Amino acid sequence: MQSVNLGLIGGGTVGSGVYHALQLNRGLMEARLGVRLKVVKVAVKALDEPRPYEIPTDVMTTDWKAVVNDPEVHVVAELVGGVTLARTMILTALELGKPVITANKALLAKHGPELFEAARRHGTNLYYEASVAGGIPIIKALREGFVGNRFTHIYGIVNGTCNYILTRMRQEGADFGDVLADAQRLGYAEADPSLDVDGHDSAHKTGILASLAHGFWVKPEEIHVEGIRSITKIDIQFAQQLGYTIKLLGIVKLGPAQGKKAAARVQVSVYPALIPNSHVLANVNQVFNAVFVRGDVVGDTLFYGRGAGKDATASAVLSDLADAALDLKFGSKCRIPPFVPLNQGGTVMPIGEAMARYYVRLNVADRPGTMAKVATILGQAKIGISSIIQPEGHEGESVPLILMMHDAPNAALTKALAKIAKLPVVKAPPVMLRVETLE
């Protein structure tokens, strides 16, 4: 039986999880693959650092180069994160012709084309299943399972921290700040939660999915990103009353082409949106992730599972290890390319051109004529109102006014709301959330 040796760079939460999982199920994997698997070296920050699972000291080193350059190491897994040193580690391994496994979504989002080109140039492969949605095999599904499909829509709940916060706000009627503090105490949110709650982590993952689905690399700065800090319990309550749940979504939509031979134009966005309570995505709760994929041949599919954590991520890394081992076994350095640039003329559609329905909450003066002033501005912008709610029990100087809008361009509504905000009868900045019907 052929042997394939793995070298890990990173022995913390994820690295030790990978080591533990391989010891747990190595016999099973070897029987399924016909390949003998072994971790021969692990680079760590410190030999005595605390880690969830024990790693024998005789395989550990504090020198990452000792892992990459070791001729006994056939496959390298980069599990340290960051976008500087990790880039050097991966490029070094690829230049030696060694296949690399990474869970580093931020690095791929920023340097993906460079890394994929290095893999191609040196006749090897880069595997990245663990970079998006943890243990959910969404990368493999897009690359292999749906290879015969064009993708019209992808919606992803891909950040467990945000989903946990929004779930508890809905279930308990709690405020954002209170739930965030509890999430930090429980270890679901970092001390500095901005990467998660401001949508940047979701943007890294959404950009990777969009790039893979549409064949041109989406740069992070091209993605429209909104987080969940502005979501209040009153908006969650009104959404429920209207039959919706608020979720932070990573969205990839194929837009209309400008001409018969025009390249793809794709909306790539991250924002909190109202989705129908009847849709399965509305019932993805707590720290779980889910990715909804619509293909032109397969139709609608849904992938659900744990999106983070040492064990879920380890499962994805072992999946990539299996692919790398089989590639080496059969002498195919690049059985399936990590990224195929099929659509280099493709572009990300500006958010202003995106069409959607909308939820708008205004805080307005409680006097006659207020709605007429608001409706006049919306009418001038050719934006239709589908329903209005002015709830009882809020009498006073100002009251909430909830408007549900028909489809309209994002830019048109943004411009109209800027005018509405200047009306003397409007007492606070308008709140606008998009509605994704998932139809």
pLDDT in tens, 22-34: 999 999 999 999 9
3-state secondary structure of 117: helix
| Domains, the chain, ordered by start | 2-135+310-329 (3.40.50.720), 140-306 (3.30.360.10), 354-435 (3.30.70.260)
The structure's pTM equals 0.94
Say if residue 260's pLDDT is above 60: no
Catalytic positions, written as ranges: 205
Give the pLDDT confidence of 76-117 residue by residue, as tens digits.
999 998 999 999 999 999 999 999 999 999 999 999 999 999
Determine whether 172 is exposed, middle or buried from the number of CB atoms within 10 Å of its CB (0-12, 13-18, 19+). Answer: exposed
Q: Which residue has the tokens 């998932």?
A: 438
Average pLDDT over residues 5-11: 97
What is the per-residue pLDDT across 191-236, written as a single tens digit (0 to 9) for each?
A: 999 999 999 999 999 999 999 999 999 999 999 999 999 999 999 9
Q: For 85, which DSSP code?
A: H
Reading the block at residue 429, the tokens are 């900045």
How high is the pLDDT of residue 166?
A: 97
- SS3 (DSSP) at 89: helix
CA atoms of 118 and 114, how far apart (whole Å) = 6
- Determine the pLDDT at residue 394: 58
- Termini Cα distance of the chain: 50
Q: Could you give the CA distance from residue 277 to residue 246 in angstroms, rounded to a whole number? A: 9
- Model pLDDT for residues 142-174, shown as the tens digit of each residue: 999 999 999 999 999 999 999 999 999 999 999
* pLDDT computed for residue 262 by the predictor: 60
Would you say residue 259 has pLDDT above 60? Answer: no
- Between CA 43 and CA 83 the distance in angstroms is 18
Please count the CA atoms within 13 angstroms of the CA of 234 that sit on its side-chain side.
Answer: 12
